[in-house]
């Protein structure tokens, strides 16, 4: 039987250090909500000791290698209303093909689960999150003013936000694309959620989150804003988004939530015991690399840079403990194999990893 690797589960879209900052520096009401969110996040991680693991080295599945069943032409979505409780999934309010409910959170969840499914299905020929027709389930209005969203291995869960610092978590399609990509990684690479493999995990989720947004808007790399979570923070907060892939470290600078801590280059790599070894912080480095690849190639990023990243995630050579350099080497090789050695794509990938200091000259 293939070995299982114990995983430290992603805490949700909002990093724990930002919630801790709110707990310490925000008003009493916001602080209480942040503490409640942190408590719920700890509890949901404790409920699942394992995520669907990658098989032992040498036996990992790859999308390219396994036979593909006939793919459906639409996802199978089900949206539930948790009614401000933490009981999942809640009351079923919309199923596949049914009309809008009039509840903006439920309808955004339905639409954006579909947008994520379409990117993976239409571009990468992937049959849902697990590659095997997994239904897409979401629960909205989770908890009381819950400041997060997460993938629990079976479904998406969305809080309404506190209404003062954070908006509802269905507001941005890339949030949903990001979290569902944790599921794709669970079923493919199984990257350990700690240190550089964990930061790589977070970065890959950001990559496909922004690609879902760009694909749904039919944007080129040059037209895209390269922001993750734009619209999540309320207008009173000095923030463009939660992260910037173009300029890591510039997404926010606010007295309450602090300053965006992401580095854009290995020389500024943050060594820390917090945030599972800086998984949400150091992900800025591979994020910047992907942005550089996409901009160097131009056009629609999901067709070229995104294809390289997707192939690398599904490649059986990608180990669970892969660091930035291992992924850089693999993605460069994948680019060479798919687009040709010395091609513009191959050169862009190699140059980008060099530019962010992951690969030495």
**Which of 279, 285, 239, 282 minimizes the C-alpha distance to 15?**
279
Cα separation, 194 vs 68, in Å, equals: 32
Which residue of the set 108, 179, 188, 247 is catalytic?
Answer: 179
- % pLDDT > 90, the chain: 87
CATH number 1.10.390.10 is the correct assignment for the domain at 195-355: yes
Active site residue 346: no
Digit-coded pLDDT (tens) for 290-318: 999 999 999 999 999 999 999 999 999 99
Within this chain, domains 16-187 and 195-355 share the same CATH topology: no
Q: How far apart are the first and last CA of the chain?
A: 42
Write down the mean pLDDT value for the chain: 91
pLDDT digits (tens, 9 = 90+) for 308-361: 999 999 999 999 999 999 999 999 999 999 999 999 999 999 999 999 999 998
pLDDT at 8: 54
Question: Domain locations in the chain?
Answer: 16-187, 195-355
pLDDT 10s digits, 16-70: 999 999 999 999 999 999 999 999 988 876 655 434 444 333 333 333 333 444 5
What confidence score (pLDDT) does residue 73 get? Answer: 83
What does the pLDDT read at residue 361? 86
In CATH, what is the architecture of 16-187? Roll (3.10)
- What's 61's DSSP letter? -
Q: Which among 252, 239, 212, 210 has a CA at the least distance from the CA of 227?
A: 210
Instruction: Say what the pLDDT of residue 43 is.
Output: 82
Question: Which residues does 79 contact at the CB level (< 8 Å), separation at least 6?
Answer: 92, 93, 94, 95, 101, 106, 109, 110, 113, 137, 138, 139, 140
CB 142 within 8 A of CB 157: yes
Catalytic residue of the set 178, 187, 280, 346: 280
Rounded-to-5 percentages of helix, strand, coil across the chain? 40, 10, 50
**pLDDT for 227:** 98
The verdict on whether 215 is a catalytic residue reads: no
Give the confidence band of 208 by pLDDT, cuts at 50, 70, 90. very high
């Amino acid at each position: 039987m293939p070995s299982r690797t114990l995983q430290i589960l992603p805490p949700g879209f909002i990093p724990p250090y930002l919630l801790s900052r709110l707990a310490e520096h925000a008003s009493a009401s916001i602080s209480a909500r942040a503490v409640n969110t942190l408590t719920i996040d700890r509890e949901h991680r404790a409920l699942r000791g394992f995520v669907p693991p990658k098989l032992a080295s040498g036996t990992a599945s790859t999308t390219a290698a396994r036979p593909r069943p006939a793919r459906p032409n639409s996802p199978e979505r089900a949206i539930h209303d948790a009614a401000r409780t933490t009981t999942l999934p809640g009351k079923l309010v919309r199923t596949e093909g049914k009309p809008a409910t009039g509840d903006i959170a439920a309808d955004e969840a339905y639409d954006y689960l579909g947008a994520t499914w379409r990117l993976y299905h239409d571009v990468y020929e992937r049959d849902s999150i697990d590659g095997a027709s997994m239904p897409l389930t979401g629960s909205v209005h989770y908890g009381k003013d819950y400041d997060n969203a997460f993938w629990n291995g079976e479904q998406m869960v969305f809080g309404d936000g506190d209404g003062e610092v954070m908006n509802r978590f269905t507001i941005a399609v890339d949030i949903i694309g990001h979290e569902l990509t944790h599921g794709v990684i669970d079923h493919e690479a199984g990257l350990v959620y700690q240190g550089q493999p964990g930061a790589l995990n977070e970065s890959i989720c950001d990559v496909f989150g922004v690609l879902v947004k760009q694909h749904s808007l039919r944007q080129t790399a040059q037209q895209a804003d390269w922001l993750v979570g734009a619209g999540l923070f309320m207008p009173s907060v000095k923030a463009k988004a939660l992260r910037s892939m173009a300029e890591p470290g510039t997404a926010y600078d606010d007295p309450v939530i602090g300053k965006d801590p992401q580095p854009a280059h290995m020389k500024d790599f943050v060594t820390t015991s917090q945030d599972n070894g800086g998984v949400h912080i150091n992900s800025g480095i591979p994020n910047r690399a992907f942005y550089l690849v996409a901009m160097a190639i131009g056009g629609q990023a999901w067709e070229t840079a995104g294809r390289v990243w997707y192939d690398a995630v599904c490649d059986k050579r990608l180990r669970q403990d892969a660091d930035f350099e291992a992924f850089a080497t693999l993605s460069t090789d994948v680019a060479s194999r798919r687009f040709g050695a010395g091609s513009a794509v191959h050169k862009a990938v190699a140059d980008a990893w060099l530019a962010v200091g992951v690969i030495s000259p």
